Structure formats: C-alpha cells, structure tokens
Structure 1
Amino acid sequence: MTDTAQQPTGGRRLFTRSAPYAPTRYQCYDGARLLAESAASFDPPVTAVIGIANGGTRPAAVIADCLEVPLYNVTARHNRTDEPWQQATGDVSVVLSNDLPDRFDGTVLLVDDIAGSGATFTAVARALGPKLGSSAVPKTLALCRNAGCTEGPDGWIWDVNNWVVFPWEASHDGDTRQLPVPKKVATP
C-alpha cells in the first residue's frame, strides 16, 4: 500500500446548519445508476471505476456493475472525525492499495459520495498519476456536490448546502431532510 499526503487544496464547504440531508438507500442507488448511464457514453470508454473509501465505495460498486468494468478502491481521509459540519482542511491523506493495476488506460472514474470541497478528488487523481497511461482520462463522479466545492466533480446528482448523512454512515440524532428523487446528472 502506498500512503501519500497531499498539499491542501479545495474550496470551503457551505453549511446552513439546519437539519442535515439524508438520502435513502434507494435514492443513492438510483443516483449511482444515473451516473453510470451518463458515463456509458464517455469517450474514451470507461475501463475502470475507483471508489474512494469510505463513502464512495457503495456508489462505485453500482456504477462498475452497471458499466461491467473492474472496480477498485482507494482510501482517502479528509475529515479527522465523523462529526457533522466539519470544515474542509484541504489536507487529504490517500492510500493506494497494492491490488491496483500498474497502468490504467481509457476513462477512469473516481467516485465518492460527496464532493465537499473537491480536495479529495484532486488528491486521489494526483496519487494515481503515475498509474495513468498516456491515454487515460480521469473523470470524477459524486452523488452530492456541496455549494462550496471548487474542484469538480464532472458529474453529480444533488447540489447541497448542508451536511449529508448517507445510509452507510452512522445515523444522525435529530431531524433530517430528504433530498428530491434523483432525475438527472448535473455537470459543470
């Protein structure tokens, strides 16, 4: 495994500090399926999906399954704890697992559950740089994009301005708000 610390980057997350959003498991699945459908037309074609652990592994698995391409995972740590409403530090630690191929070609999808500031996508793309062949095109996809995000993603489902509690995380003690039914992929 390779551990690489990245230089701080990214925007400042925006939070209304009202009840956090809480998409359902079904909404997240439907959102990931929409992201896969949008990626199916990428040129060059998608050859691999890389889920950013922890949050990106579940949507990445859905996307890889829909596209019928290999799934890999990397670990990136941005928040120091799992407490809500943390501001982004831009300091992201990335761990690349030993099971990654020596070289990626074609479109390589980097998938996370949320792009809070964009720093995680930037750090993972930098860490993967030596493994990207000359024809490789990294693209970033997320279920949510915080309004303060300045670096990506290339596609997302929901714009949010508050904390998001995903179904694979510890439940939130208190009120939450639903997100609308996912209908389309947003792009920059």
Structure 2
Amino acid sequence: MTGSPYAARRVFAQRIPFAPTHYQCFDAARLLAESVIGTEPQVTCVVGIASGGTHPARVMADYLKVPCHTITARHNTSDAAFQQATGDVEVILPEELPGRFTGTVLLVDDIAGTGATFAAVTDALRGRLADHAAIMTAALFRNRGCLQNPDRWAWSVNDWVAFPWESPHDGLTQPVPALRRVNSR
C-alpha cells in the first residue's frame, strides 16, 4: 500500500509508554467481543493481525465461539519504541485462510496507530467477502493520531504502548487507566 492516505503521525506526548497487564488486555478483549454480539450480519470469524493482534483475537474468538485466523501485516521498520508509521503496509494472506468469508469478519489488532494496517488488511480481504459480508475492526488501543478509527476500541492513548506479549520495555512505564467502556465510531 504505497502512498497511503493513512500515513499519519502517531502521538507520543509524554514519551513514557503505557504498560497494560495481561489481565487488562484479556478483559478489554472480552468486553470488545461482548460489544459485537447482536451485530448484523453476525460475526462468523475473528482475524487477528500478527503479531500483536493474535492475542486479543484468540480471546475474542473463544468468547464468541467462532473460528480464529491470523494475517500478517507489517509497516514498522523494527520493534523499537516510538516509531512513526510509514503508511506502507505489507499484507501476507496465509494459504489456510478461507477463500470466502460470510457474515461479519471481526478484524483485530492490539493498537490502531494510524489506521493504515486496518485499511490495508481490509483491502486485502475485500475480494474474499461473500455478498452481504462485512468487515468490522477492533483494537485494544487507539493512538490519538489515528486518522481512521477502528469500529471498536478500548483505550485512547497519546503514547507508545508496551504490551505484555512483547519484550519488556527498558525504562519507565505508565499504568493504563481503568477501562470504563468500549468506544465505537
């Protein structure tokens, strides 16, 4: 996805990463899954964006009792903290991914930094959607620099997020505030 309109700048106000716990991430994923119950068309599968989206995607798929798939999408040049997004996203669809999706596909990532990853993966899946199928996006976190919000998210942040499934962050971190509600656009 070259020259992406989603090449926004992520916001890093304090430059101290947020550090959610495993429990906070699990609870947020469960609440996000609850928030899509009753969606029409019904959620028929969850697709986690590797690597960060796979953890919440598994929780959500288990809660919704639907299959879980994984897609790889990358645009960061490394795993270093405080990187700005390039907007150029490489999407890799695995061979075992279904050829056709029905219902609503719940596309999950750990964070929506700019919106570029969700946009690129949605574009890559569009040709696999059956008539009347839809894609819904969900993220644990949304950076305040995100140009296109996901359909659902738990927290809005203005700094980097050091997830519990990543290498520990060297230095100070800040706690994540208590989750009050699921946000939606």
**Do they fold alike, i.e. is TM over 0.5?**
yes
Per-residue CA deviation, residues 82-133 of structure 1 (Å, 9 max, x unaligned), is 1111111100000000111110011100000000000000000001111111
In 2, distance between residues paired with 1:131 and 1:55?
A: 23
Confirm whether residue 8 of structure 1 aligns to residue 4 of structure 2: yes
In 2, distance between residues paired with 1:185 and 1:66?
A: 16
* Aligned counterpart, 2:111: 114
One of 91, 94, 97 as aligned partner of 1:94: 91
The two structures, once aligned, show a CA RMSD in angstroms of 1.1
Counterparts of 1:33-44 in structure 2, within 5 Å, are 33-44=30-41
Contact 1:146/1:162, CA 8 A, preserved across alignment: yes
Contact 1:7/1:92, CA 8 A, preserved across alignment: no
In 2, distance between residues paired with 1:96 and 1:154?
A: 22
One of 157, 168, 172 as aligned partner of 2:169: 172
Per-residue CA deviation, residues 142-171 of structure 1 (Å, 9 max, x unaligned), is 000000101220000000000000000111
Is the partner of 1:131 in helix, strand or coil? coil
Is the partner of 1:112 in helix, strand or coil? strand
* Aligned counterpart, 2:20: 23
One of 77, 81, 87 as aligned partner of 1:80: 77
Confirm whether residue 61 of structure 1 aligns to residue 48 of structure 2: no
In 1, distance between residues paired with 2:119 and 2:5?
A: 8
Is the partner of 2:138 in helix, strand or coil? strand
In 1, distance between residues paired with 2:112 and 2:2?
A: 17
In 2, distance between residues paired with 1:44 and 1:172?
A: 40
Confirm whether residue 48 of structure 1 aligns to residue 45 of structure 2: yes
Q: CA deviation at 1:7?
A: 4.7
In 2, distance between residues paired with 1:116 and 1:138?
A: 19
In 1, distance between residues paired with 2:34 and 2:154?
A: 12
Contact 2:15/2:82, CA 8 A, preserved across alignment: no
* Aligned counterpart, 1:133: 130
Q: Which runs of 5+ in 1 are unaligned?
A: none
Q: What is the total number of aligned residue pairs between the two structures? A: 184
Q: CA deviation at 1:181?
A: 2.1
Q: Which runs of 4+ in 1 moved over 6 A?
A: none
